[in-house]
Chain A
């Protein structure tokens, strides 16, 4: 019975790794988007496992609901027949493999010497008593109010930028 959390973690971690490998190796971009949808649901479950319900909900709503739909719309522009005939990777892919393996090895090596810092005030008991969304809101709207306002500005600029960039150029003649 005490092995249950480890088994949960084992399933979700291996599923996340396998799904991310599937995302970057599929030839058909539509398949990549579909695997990524499954990947985002698994990551959301991982957040639930870490007692972060609100973040899990945002993960599903924003990532799976909004960003992936945007990706799917753009993939529809592609010429899929041409895509399926083209090479999957660039010619020098072993160099990329070397770089990413080096990043993984150095991160894993750094983990061996890692010592966690002091614990904060937000214990699991407190979060479960007040509920996660309320606690997060209380911190976000007091201590982080200014960055929150800046985030709205970032989104406004993204909206304007997307319209300007994707608009069809008017021909002058």
Chain B
């Protein structure tokens, strides 16, 4: 039997990799993929908890997280398309319209 802590450690590692990607990449699409990575890390820990604590609520939560991730991806990619149409770039350091 694999201990629960191993799964939680794996989840923490994937989450940190997602944070690193989000903070350091310039390409907004890769930043979005980093967000998906973080959501997946949380899903791994929730399913592991659900299995080891013998409670299905964790998996119900995963179900809703996947729903929200799908909604977030569609809206976010629509924003990227709108940005690309107006600025012709996907690099976040070239977008500074809101800077005062």
For the residues of B in contact with A, the DSSP-based class is helix
B23–A17 CB distance below 8 A: no
Partner of B19 from A40, A62, A103, A120 at Cβ < 8 Å: A103
A154–B71 CB distance below 8 A: yes
**Chain A residue, CB-CB nearest to B45:** A107
- How many residues of B are counted as interface, with CB atoms below 8 angstroms from the partner's CB atoms? 70
Partner of B71 from A33, A108, A144, A158 at Cβ < 8 Å: A158
Given A87-B26, A119-B55, output 7 extra A-B contacts at Cβ < 8 Å: A6-B2, A16-B10, A21-B17, A40-B40, A58-B66, A77-B84, A78-B29
Q: Chain A residues in contact with chain B, CB under 8 A?
A: 5-6, 9, 13, 16-17, 20-21, 23-24, 29, 32-33, 36, 39-40, 43, 46-47, 50-52, 54-55, 58-59, 62-63, 66-67, 70-71, 73-75, 77-78, 83, 86-90, 93, 95-97, 99-101, 103-104, 107-108, 111, 114, 116-124, 135-136, 139-140, 144, 147, 151, 154-155, 157-159, 161-166, 168
17 A-B residue pairs with CB within 8 Å = A6-B2, A16-B14, A24-B33, A52-B59, A62-B69, A67-B70, A74-B81, A87-B26, A88-B25, A100-B16, A103-B12, A111-B8, A114-B8, A120-B53, A139-B56, A144-B60, A162-B78
